[in-house]
Amino acid sequence: MSTAIVVGAGIGGVTAAVALQRRGWQVTVLERAPELGEVGAGISVWPAAVAVLEELGVKGVEKASVQSKPAGMRKPDGRWVVSAADLGMELPVMIHRAQLHDLVTAEFGPAVTVRTGYDVRTVTQDADGVTVNGELRADLLVAADGIRSAVRGSMYPHYAGPRYSGFTGYRGIADVDLDDGGGETWGRGQLFGFARLIDGRYYWYATANQPAGATSEPTVFESWHDPLPRLIAGTEKILQNDIYDLTLPLVPFAQGRIVLLGDAAHAMTPNLGRGACSAIEDAGALVRHLGRTGELRAALTAYDAERRPATTKLVKRSRAVGRLGQTENPVLCTVRDGLFAVGGKLVALRARK
C-alpha cells in the first residue's frame, strides 16, 4: 500500500488525509499542536469546496451550515450602499470552523494515524521516498503546514514567503439575538462583516490598518451602526490575527515526492473567503491526479499545473479587494462606494431579467 505523510492538521491537511485514505493510501498526519481542532470563528464554504467534501464522503456540511443570503453593504452610519437585493450570485454556506474540522476528521478510518505534538523540522527525499525528522518514511509528503510552512522553507530557501497586507483582522462568535440579515460595512481603512451560524449565534470579522505585530481592540466599530457594537459586546473571546498572504509569483507546488497544499502553497488575504476552500479543492485535485496516473511525479506535476494558476488568480484578486476595502483616501472611498452602488443596481437588474 502507498504511504503518505501529511504535515499539518488544519482544514487543508485533514481534508488531504481523508482524500488519500479514500484512494487507498496509508496516511500519517503530523500536527505540532497538542490536539486537533480549529479556532472559534466561522468560515464561508463555497459550493465548489462543498462539492469536493461531498465527493470525499464528508457528509453534513450543508446541514451544519447557514446558506448565505444576499446581504448587501452598508456605510458606518448604517446607510445602504448596496441593499440586500438578490444579485443572482452564487453564495457560500457559513459554518463554525470547529464543526467543519470535526466533520472532516470524523471520516478518518483505520488507514489514518494522527500524531499530535509532533513538530516537523527536517524533510529530505531520495529516489524511493521522503524522510521526516530523520525517522519517519513515506512515498509522498503533503505539506499542509500553513503560511509559515517549514517544509516550503526547506524546498525553497530563497523564497520571500509571507507578505504583510498592512491590516489586522479581528474575529469572534457573538451570542446575541438579532433581527438582521448580516452583510458588510465598509469605512475608511476598516471593514466589518457578520453572518448567522446554524446555532443562532453570529460570526463576525473586522479589519483595521495598522503596523504588523501591534495588539489592538476593535474599538473603532463601537461607534458604527447597530448591531455592530452589540456583536462586539456579545463576544466572549475576540481573536486578532495580522493578515498576510504569500509573495507572488507562488513557488511550484510540487518538488519530487513533496507537494504543497493550502496556505503553505497559496495563502491569500481573507477578502474573498476562499483560502480554506482552495485548500479543500487542492485535496480533491491532488487525489484526482494521483488516480489518473500511477506515476507519482507526473501526478504532482499535473496538480501543480492545475492548482498554481488557479490559486495565483485568487491571491491577486483577494489582495486587490483587500486594498479597496482598506483604503483610507476619502475621495477613493466615495468613488468606491458609488461604483458599488451602481454596480449592485446593474447586477440586480440583470439578475431580474
Ligand X SMILES: Cc1cc2nc3c(=O)[nH]c(=O)nc-3n(C[C@H](O)[C@H](O)[C@H](O)COP(=O)(O)OP(=O)(O)OC[C@H]3O[C@@H](n4cnc5c(N)ncnc54)[C@H](O)[C@@H]3O)c2cc1C
Residues at the site binding ligand X, with contacts judged by CB under 6 A: 7-13, 30-33, 43-44, 118-120, 144-146, 150, 169, 171, 205, 241, 243, 262-264, 270, 273-277, 279
Q: Angle CA(80)–CA(83)–CA(84) in degrees, nearest 5?
A: 140
- The nearest distance, CB 192 to ligand X, in angstroms, is 12
Q: Which three cell numbers stand for residue 70?
A: 444576499
- The nearest distance, CB 135 to ligand X, in angstroms, is 14
Q: Closer to ligand X at the Cβ: 277 or 299?
A: 277
Q: Closer to ligand X at the Cβ: 183 or 338?
A: 183
- The nearest distance, CB 294 to ligand X, in angstroms, is 27
Helix (H, G, I), strand (E, B) or coil at 82: strand
- The nearest distance, CB 184 to ligand X, in angstroms, is 12
Q: Closer to ligand X at the Cβ: 53 or 299?
A: 53
Q: Which three cell numbers stand for residue 23?
A: 484512494
- The nearest distance, CB 46 to ligand X, in angstroms, is 7
Contacts of residue 3, defined as CB under 8 A and 6 or more positions apart, other chains included, come to: 25, 26, 27, 28, 137, 138, 139, 140
- The nearest distance, CB 266 to ligand X, in angstroms, is 9
Give the number of residues written for the chain. Answer: 353
Q: Which three cell numbers stand for residue 86?
A: 438578490
Q: Closer to ligand X at the Cβ: 39 or 341?
A: 39
Q: Closer to ligand X at the Cβ: 111 or 277?
A: 277
Instruction: Say whether the peptide bond before residue 227 is cis (omega within 30 degrees of 0).
Output: yes
The number of C-alpha atoms within 13 Å of 56 and in the hemisphere containing its C-beta is: 34
- Give the closest residue to 78 by CA, choosing from 195, 194, 228: 228
Give the Cα separation of 67 and 274 in Å (integer). Answer: 16
- The nearest distance, CB 24 to ligand X, in angstroms, is 23
Give the residue ranges of DSSP H helices in the chain. Answer: 11-22, 47-55, 97-105, 150-155, 228-233, 263-266, 275-292, 296-326, 330-352
- The nearest distance, CB 328 to ligand X, in angstroms, is 20
Q: Closer to ligand X at the Cβ: 107 or 263?
A: 263
Are residues 193 and 206 in contact, defined by beta-carbon separation less than 8 angstroms? yes
Q: Closer to ligand X at the Cβ: 267 or 290?
A: 267
Q: Closer to ligand X at the Cβ: 104 or 300?
A: 104
Residue with cell 510552512: 149
